[in-house]
Structure 1
């Protein structure tokens, strides 16, 4: 049995803002972190990549730790969480498929799943500690090296999103091959999705045992499905992951916030609001008013500015942040992020402007709200005299 690491095994946490926010507590400012905050937009990351292939970085705990810490060091005091540097496609690799990361074109499966018969090529069973121990080692090392500055996220891809890559052989504009499986081979599709789900559960639990303080499930391709197909082939597995992970962690006296991101699946918000996830990440196509009408008060919201905002000047960035925070609120129920991940050609200084704006605007709003409450209380007391 692999060792279970607990908070006492790591340096004391100095910034628990995001953990409190994820639990729905009132906070003094809006916590913020960014999807793909360690990546190609950072010159220090590009330097690290000149010497090592992408999956070499993922599989080498020291390198994964180094690049995970890069944005935490660069944006000291502005980021409230780190996320371990890895990739959702390490799971298909663990299942027996070859995955390459091409400099042009991104992830590529030389021999993807073409027919249900190809399911026999997958590993009969996957021991995540045998196949993915490098991820857990990276988490443990990074949690230690963070020295309590901020909490550490672990993550996994969702079953439908991973199935899409495994069948398409990479990214796709239509996902016609993987969606064809759903209509032509529903039983085989469920078999594959079930297998991925079981591995996702084991993988997330093992990440928490290794030191992850929050975990996120990325269903990046959720919105490629029509509502009926999402209801049948994606939602049940998403819900099951949260329920099973929570149950297994509770059995060993561990509990961490869980976040789900079903990108572009606006029709899923109400279903996810009744799930065992603590936080729902929303994409940039949704307005704060729409999101809050579906899930406010039931789940913490995370998101959601368009990443393209970071091409704007700092004044425009701040103006947009002010409106976003006005819509979502700043004292509880909200975690700042983008509505998708960083782009490779983003200027790091513009991300700094975004992070600084969230920090400053949320503190200003919370201070103003507190001042108004004190004034109203004093006025009320005066009127009674």
Structure 2
């Protein structure tokens, strides 16, 4: 799809911030903003299995728009999907169990199990439902806000495929790294190649920005991160952008989110990502110093603060935006996904406060520049 096939964009704050351009206020969106904390989403889930929603473009569009309809203060939509559609495309079964989360009935136990993965993946066919949902959602948004696409990063996906679901210590997947390093790199490269094609397909379908989730990056030591994560997330940004250019597609901003990988901030800022998303364990002033203005920063409020009082939410938002302190190179978000039992009214308070404080800081910065 070409840009002329979609309604004109009315709010480009996120895209401008990602490119390092000034914004009249600080833009905001929320990781997992479409999901379990919304009563309207829970109504849909009562009728449909999680992956049925992901695989049905009309349903994915419906739930992607739910937070946008409820909160006109959001500056972006993110397509409703899951990072584990990649392992599914590779041939592994993934279930979403109530109260437990993702579950692989037959995970990879030894490298011999890699033979069960498809030798080649027809990404356009296997993940066509995501592309269709992106195109449908982009049209349904009617230009209100940009639409983000996303993927899990190779190490995070590999860990899920080996652990068989969530894990407290990732000992099974780390065993692979230390016992089977050659095969681990083989699997990581296989995932990387599929992810790149998948992300290019999302842009072709209408995604205007992309985020890579290395959700388990912080479970690796700095040395292991440099060996088993960094080379592959680096490939993703460079190869996606070069492929988009070769195919005359829009070169969209790309965000990397490596939860817990505070030690890699400087290195990440030297890659070809436009935005680094921060978790809540990183001080904003430190992040700005380390990255040196080379990238836009995103984040980094502790999601649990949304359980606090209105005063606490406003206090935290104010302090966070003041600390990042700019009318460019910053996007407000949580430091991880919104938690499922958060009160939607507290989300409204959070978003409205971001707008109010974001405007004040932008005016102040703009005024200081004119002096």
Unaligned runs of 5+ in 2: none
Matching residue of 2:260: 264
Q: Quote how far apart the aligned CAs of 1:370 are.
A: 3.6
Give the secondary-structure state (helix, strand or coil) at the position aligned to 2:172: helix
CA contact (8 A) 2:275 2:295 kept: yes
Match for residue 17 of structure 1 among 5, 10, 13: 13
- Give secondary structure in 2 for the equivalent of 1:217: strand
1:220 lines up with 2:215 in the alignment = yes
Cross-structure match for 2:342: 346
Q: Provide the rounded CA distance (Å) in 1 between the counterparts of 2:296 and 2:131.
A: 27
Per-residue CA deviation, residues 160-190 of structure 1 (Å, 9 max, x unaligned), is 0000000000000000000000000000100
Residue 159 of structure 1: which of 151, 154, 163 is its match?
154
Secondary structure of the corresponding residue to residue 338 of structure 2:
coil
Superposition misfits of 4+ residues, deviation over 3 angstroms: 368-374
Tell me how far apart the structure 2 counterparts of residues 267 and 117 of structure 1 sit (CA, whole Å): 34
Separation (CA, whole Å) in 2 of partners of 1:342 and 1:365? 25
Structure 1: 5+ residue stretches without partners: 377-385
8 A contact 2:327–2:365 mirrored in 1: no
Instruction: Decide which moves more: 365-374 or 67-76.
Output: 365-374
Report the counterpart of residue 35 of structure 1 in structure 2. Answer: 31
State the alpha-carbon separation in 2 of the partners of residues 63 and 85 from structure 1: 9
Match of 1:234 in 2: 229
Aligned positions of 1:49-88 closer than 5 A = 49-76=45-72, 78-88=73-83
1-structure distance, mates of 2:351, 2:193:
36
Matches of 1:373 and 1:176, distance apart in 2: 52
Under a length normalisation based on structure 1, what TM-score does the superposition of the two structures give? 0.95
Match of 2:247 in 1: 252
What is the Cα deviation at residue 330 of structure 1?
Answer: 3.3
Local SS of the residue matching 2:17: helix
Aligned to 2:273: 277
| Alignment-derived partner of residue 367 in structure 1 | 363
Question: How much has 1:82 moved relative to structure 2?
Answer: 0.3
Counterpart in the other structure of 1:203: 198
Match of 2:298 in 1: 302
Deviation per residue, 1:138-161 (Å, 9 max, x gap)? 000000000000000000000000
Secondary structure, aligned partner of 2:337 = coil
The answer to whether the 8 Å contact 1:296/1:333 transfers is: no
Greater mean alpha carbon deviation, residues 340-349 or residues 313-322? 313-322
In 1, are the aligned partners of 2:326 and 2:365 still within 8 Å (CA)?
Answer: no
1:379 corresponding residue in structure 2: none
Q: What secondary structure is seen at the aligned counterpart in 2 of 1:243?
A: helix
Q: String of CA shifts for 1:8-65, please: whole Å, max 9, x gaps.
A: 0100000011111100001100000000000000000000000000000000000000
Alpha-carbon distance in 2 for matches of 1:23, 1:252 = 21
Q: Is the 8 A contact 1:109 1:170 kept in 2?
A: yes
SS in 2 for 1:153: strand
Flag the structure with larger Rg: 1
Over aligned residue pairs, what C-alpha RMSD do you find? Answer: 0.9
- In structure 2, what is the Cα distance between the partners aligned to 1:312 and 1:200? 37
- Residue by residue over 1:284-335, the C-alpha shift from the partner in whole angstroms, topping out at 9 and shown as x without a partner, is 0011111111113110000000000101111111111111011112301100
Correspondence 1:93 to 2:93: no
Where does residue 107 of structure 2 map in the other structure? 112
State how far apart, in whole Å, the 1-side matches of 2:292 and 2:353 are: 23
What is residue 42 of structure 2 aligned with on the other side? 46
1:365 positional shift: 1.8
- Kept after mapping to 1: 8 A contact 2:253/2:274: yes
- Count of residue pairs brought into register by the alignment: 370
- Counterpart of 1:170 in structure 2 is 165
On the 8 A contact 1:29/1:330 being kept in 2, the answer is: no
